[in-house]
Amino acid sequence: MNNTEKVEKLLRDYGYPEKAIPRLVREIGPMSYEKVAKLIMPYHDITAGK
């Protein structure tokens, strides 16, 4: 599994909307999977207060 596939899987596992994943992957760009895993939060944690 390459870096992009790992990031996509992480975003799906974290509950990000399918429509948002391609844009997020483009914005994340060359960032390593390990760094992405440390920086992002599960989607439901981000939207909990809204």
On the question of pLDDT at 49 being above 60, the answer is no
Residue 11: exposure state from Cβ atoms within 10 A (0-12, 13-18, ≥19):
buried
Cα–Cα nearest to 4, from 31, 44, 41, 40:
31
Q: Which domain holds residue 24?
A: 3-47
Rounded mean pLDDT, 16-44: 89
What proportion of the chain, given as a percentage, has pLDDT over 90?
56
Q: Domain tally for the chain?
A: 1
On the question of pLDDT at 4 being above 60, the answer is yes
pTM of the model: 0.77
**Do the Cβ atoms of 14 and 45 come closer than 8 Å?**
no
Rounded mean pLDDT, 3-7: 92
